[in-house]
Amino acid sequence: MSEFEGFPSAALDFYDDLEVDNTKAFWEKNKAVYDASVKAPMTALCAALEPEFGTAKIFRPYRDVRFAKDKTPYKTHQGAFVRVGEATGWYVEVSPRGVRTGAGFYEASAPRLAAFRESVAHDRFGPELERILRTLEKKGFEIGGDRLKTTPRGYDAGHPRIELLRHRSLTVGHPLGFEPVIHTPELLDLVRDDWRALRPLVDWVADHVRT
């Protein structure tokens, strides 16, 4: 397998064009660009990260449109995910907006969500998560995830961690955007450093968001 050399400009150009012309005709005409400029470097990046973080799933480029109102057939980004628990792990993506890293849990069943909220409300585990997130924010990470607008049932609106309790998923991301480094082998080091910084979050979720 080839060593990771960064994502070429052609990867971002490919997705720019795909957003404009998301058709089978465009895909078939440009599939060689996708294979060489998107899939191959993502595969090489994941292979380089695998010894430390585990095997990544490189997502298929095709959208599941069976129940979607949007029937465009292709995803306008390429993501890869290292799973450490149910819907939990590390993530990296290339898209028209450049490269982004992240981690956390992107969905939870009712029992897992209840376990998450119990841990957030816990006198020790909840403050641990707050400290992890504050540290990540200071390093430039962005806190995201699906959240209730109301107070979750069974919790007081005045709870000191009510904003965390509203989360139905919790993700933390770092947009690297169009920085020149994304086109170089040094991107590997940045992704590795981000994932290492995110390990405390991944470990916390793996420990507490389970049934």
Mean pLDDT for 138-147 is 97
pLDDT at 1 over 70: no
pLDDT at 211 over 80: no
pLDDT tens sequence across 172-210: 999 999 999 999 999 999 999 999 999 999 999 999 998
pLDDT at 68 over 80: no
Mean pLDDT for 115-136 is 98
* Beta carbons within 10 angstroms of residue 46's beta carbon: 21
pLDDT tens sequence across 10-47: 999 999 999 999 999 999 999 999 999 999 999 999 99
Specify the pLDDT at position 127: 98
Band the pLDDT of 113: cuts 50, 70, 90: very high
**Which CATH fold topology does 9-208 show?**
BirA Bifunctional Protein; domain 2 (3.30.930)
Return the SS3 of 57: strand
With a pLDDT cut of 90, the percent of the chain lying above it is: 94
Specify the pLDDT at position 16: 97
Specify the pLDDT at position 69: 82
Q: Which residues contact 179 (CB under 8 A, 6 or more apart)?
A: 98
Positive or negative, the CA dihedral 160, 163, 166, 167 is negative
Rounded CA-CA distance 64/73 in Å is 8
Vertex 103, ends 97 and 108: CA angle to 5°?
A: 115
Domain residue extents for the chain: 9-208
Specify the pLDDT at position 66: 82
Band the pLDDT of 70: cuts 50, 70, 90: confident
pLDDT at 139 over 70: yes
Rounded CA-CA distance 141/91 in Å is 13
Mean pLDDT for 100-114 is 96
